[in-house]
Structure 1
Amino acid sequence: MSYVIPAPAQPSLPIQGSDQRFPVRRIFCIGRNYAEHAREMGATVEKDAPLFFCKPADAIVTDGADLPYPQATADLHHEVEMVVALGAGGRDVAADRAAALVWGYGVGLDLTRRDLQAVAKAKSHPWDVAKAFDHSAPVSALRAAAEVRPSPATRLSLAVNGSVRQQATLADMIHDVPGIIAMLSTLFELKAGDLIFTGTPAGVAALQRGDRFHAELEGIATLDGRVA
């Protein structure tokens, strides 16, 4: 097949212990999935009406790469999250079948232009410019679910310049991974290659140029980078 312009490159992530890569189709995110984070943002948690939004696949920044400070903001915030990679998909997936769709796990940052988000919230506008900008989704190398699976006791953390800013266990999540997948599949047809950011704990704060960050999903994945 020929195209009238060069075809965009396929976004992908490295896989721990393999020369192969994981092709990324779409990035889905759930907001307010940790109660303490919702409270620090002045939001209420609606368990029956979870908040979902998307990022473009080419927003990915891989482990170790410099993170360019984004344009049009003076308040870039970090939100560390467990990332789930799907190896299969479907519509209206039952929660008891959802875990079978997971190919692997990683850790990532849902970066947010907080000042633009505040304006969008005040005007009841969509969050796209605050969440779906270039380089807004740093993600680690993935670890196959066949090798390891997180448990409720698995710790999720983020340190900036050596100081821990965010820390929680997955038991603190309001919606677990099967529940998130099941709910998303009622809104979108999920497919292999989709990533799901599963929410952030309390402690979100600003990143500055020159900051170095270290994110960790205990025993599974780490992500290191520098804000350029």
Structure 2
Amino acid sequence: MVVVRDSRPEARELVAAARAALGLEELDLLVRDAYVVDVWARDVKRQDVGVKGRVIACVGPCRGRARRVIDADGLFLAPGFIEAHIHVESSFLSPSEFSRQLVTHGTTAAFVDVHEVGNVMGLRGVAALARAFEAVRLKVFLLAPPNVPPSRKVDDQGGASIPYGEVLEAARGLSGIGEVMDLQSLAEGDEEFLSFAAQASTSFTVQ
């Protein structure tokens, strides 16, 4: 059920990027004269960006040649946006089309809370959605639904039910736990819920 693929470059890729930055190897792509958005420095500067394989090799003056050169002519160049919380089911799009729409508009990663699928199909539905996301270009951080049904105090009329222990187990194979919706159990100080919340908050990313 792990969806996020390890996208860190290998050592040989880093070496090739370093050599390209020094002008010892050819860059794969050079974007010239772009307004580069530096999210760390909170600054925008007009400069070049060189890419070797999957690695940004240089920002600023880039030495040597490139297989492909793009003249940005003052357009903005920014890191991919991150969707911090979304329910893909509410978009009424398949995982592949959902991914295509986000990537096309500059969003390259998303934290996906699959509460609706879990509420109807349980962990079987969560696993199916995870498999569907494995083939997309979007980097997906899938979150286990913590409250299925949304409230333990209310009859959910035949929907799925996921015990807290199974939520914690599922979260170990995903990227964390989604939003807590059972506010009634929280307000009433339900011991089982509070125990689950304590375990979840110390072990996982919880939205």
TM-score (norm 2): 0.24
Give the structure with the higher percent strand: 1
Task: Please tell me whether Structure 1 or Structure 2 has the larger radius of gyration of its CA atoms.
Answer: 2
Give the structure with the higher percent helix: 2
TM-score (norm 1): 0.23
Q: Which has the higher contact order (CA 8 A, sep 6+)?
A: 1
